[in-house]
Amino acid sequence: MLLIRNARIASEDSAALVEGDVLVENGIIRSIGTGLSAPAGARVIDAWGRLLMPAMFDAHVHLREPGQEAKEDIGSGSEAAINGGITGLVMMPNTSPAIDSAAVVRMVLDSAAKNSRIPIYTSGCVTKDRAGKELAGIDGMRALGVRMLTDDGDTTNDPAVLLRAMQYATEFGMFFASHCEVHELAGPRALNEGVVSYRLGIKGSPACAEEIIIDRDIRLAHAAGAHIHIQHVSSKLGMETIRWWKQRGDVKVTCEVAPHHLLFTEEDIGDYDTHYKMNPPLRTKADTEALLQALIDGVFDLIATDHAPHTPFEKSQDFVSAPNGITGLETALVSLYHHFIATGRFGWDLVIKRYSAEPRRMMGLPTVPVEEGKPADFILFDPEAETTFTTAFMKSKSRNTPFLDKTLKGRVDLVVLGDAVLLERD
């Protein structure tokens, strides 16, 4: 039994915080009230000044298993998630081999059952080996619980193949997540095409490479009656395209934004800093501001990190050769607090809705509000404390993050899932 006293409880429904005590028994929130007395044997934590809220859920994570375990594996990646206040995540299938059949899905889920303290869900490929030619083993993956189909890392290039997959899989309740990029336009995928790419002398990737596929894939979903989820939107026009389709109301489209596309611009690349190299690339200040406003306005359904670990050796290559992506699981919540909540741009209700409740709904899972009778699946967050993202702090095998050794406001102090305390700081 666990009694948390004097917490300020946050929810997706209101920016207002509710003061109270929370009693957890057998993994269930038994009661919420003020002045609750501790039952015999209960552990008591005084949460004075801290926030109690639903734990986060990340719908876009690269755990690199199988095949690239030097970067990350399910064990280290799930511990990184816990360290960031996350108690569930969806793996992307661009592993080696790719997660494109029942056999690989089973391998991944078996590993998760052994090596992870939080539930791990996996997406499956749309096409075999993400090659864009033949459909993956969709039905076998569905039978093992896969709901999200994506060739993430790449666009499913051939629209006829994607349309056929949509027509087939939609009737089984599956949905599609699109990484949007016209391959021929995107070039070496180094950075946004614009003032910075011209200054550095590197061929960039124009925003239209992303925007064209955003529109194409929503049109295909419209034709097939499928649910399409647009991943890691980075451009203003791409976001406006999605908003236009949402306003039409005749296609099921959802979308996500990554914290790095809200926090950074192409200018941050400075002198070829590979910690600001990701795909889609960081774009202009106008894009970043439009994405932030769209998140506040409710255009974005989800926040998702696109956690993309790479070894220090890989990221220390020159800017063109270094792989795309940064880690995100351990920094997302604190950085959103530091930059946006603490500065008054939006409230905790937005983060809980977009980074806990909606991703769970998209995956067909129950949400985890802090309410009587619900399973205990929450975190304690200290808004007065700070986090320094040192190598010692991070549980991920990789450290490719712009936040390395930086100190931000806010700290995840406690993560509770069922009757287990997964993390307790201090």
Please give the positions annotated as active site: 306
Cα(48)–Cα(220) distance, rounded to whole angstroms? 51
Give the total of residues touching Zn ion (CB under 5 A). 2
Is residue 84 classed as helix, strand or coil in its secondary structure? coil
- Between residues 152 and 330, which has the closer beta carbon with respect to Zn ion? 152
CB of 36 to Zn ion, least distance (A): 46
What is the nearest approach in angstroms of Zn ion to the Cβ of residue 153? 6
Q: Which CB, 151 or 358, lies closer to Zn ion?
A: 151
Tell me the CB-side half-sphere exposure of residue 195, using CA atoms within 13 A.
Answer: 8
Nearest to residue 271, comparing CAs of 357, 210, 196? 196
Q: How far is the CB of 85 from Zn ion (least distance, A)?
A: 23
Residues 166-205 that bind Zn ion (CB under 5 A): 179
Least separation, in Å, of the C-beta of 329 and Zn ion? 16
Q: What is the 3-state composition of the chain as percent helix, strand, coil, each rounded to the nearest 5?
A: 35, 25, 45
CA atoms within 13 A on the CB side of 391: 5
Give the one residue of 100, 152, 181, 287 binding Zn ion; rule: CB under 5 A.
152
Residue nearest Zn ion (C-beta atom): 179
DSSP symbols for 335-394: HHIIIIITTTSS-HHHHHIIIIIHHHHHTT-----S-TTSBPEEEEEEEEEEEE--TTT-
Closer Cβ to Zn ion, 179 or 338, answer by number:
179
Residue number with CB closer to Zn ion (21 or 217):
217
The SS3 of residue 36 is coil
Per CB under 5 A, the segment of 34-42, 43-51, 146-154, 340-348 that binds Zn ion is 146-154
Question: Is cis: bond before 280, omega within 30 of 0?
Answer: yes
CA angle 424, 425, 426 (to 5 degrees): 115
From 155, 145, 148, select the one nearest 102 (Cα to Cα): 145
Nearer to Zn ion, 258 or 414 (CB): 258
User: What's the angle, vertex CA 124, arms to CA 122 and CA 129, rounded to 5?
Assistant: 130
Angle between helices 207-224 and 159-169 (to 10 degrees): 40
Nearer to Zn ion, 179 or 411 (CB): 179
Which residue, chain included where needed, has tokens 């709901």?
147
Q: Which amino acid is at 370?
A: V
- Residue 180 CB, nearest distance to Zn ion (Å)? 8
- 229 binds Zn ion per the rule CB under 5 A: no
Q: In this chain, which stretch among 21-29, 98-106, 147-155, 239-247 interacts with Zn ion, using CB under 5 A?
A: 147-155
- Report the residue number, 61 or 102, with the smaller CB distance to Zn ion: 61
**Stretch of 70-78, 105-113, 148-156, 289-297 contacting Zn ion, by CB under 5 A:** 148-156
* Minimal distance, residue 109 CB to Zn ion, in Å: 22
Q: How far apart are CA 374 and CA 376, in angstroms?
A: 6
Residue among 189, 271, 170 nearest 227 (CA) = 170
Kindly state the smallest distance separating residue 189's Cβ from Zn ion, in Å: 11
- Looking up tokens 């509710």, which residue turns up? 18
Between CA 44 and CA 410 the distance in angstroms is 22
Footprint of Zn ion on this chain (CB under 5 A)? 152, 179
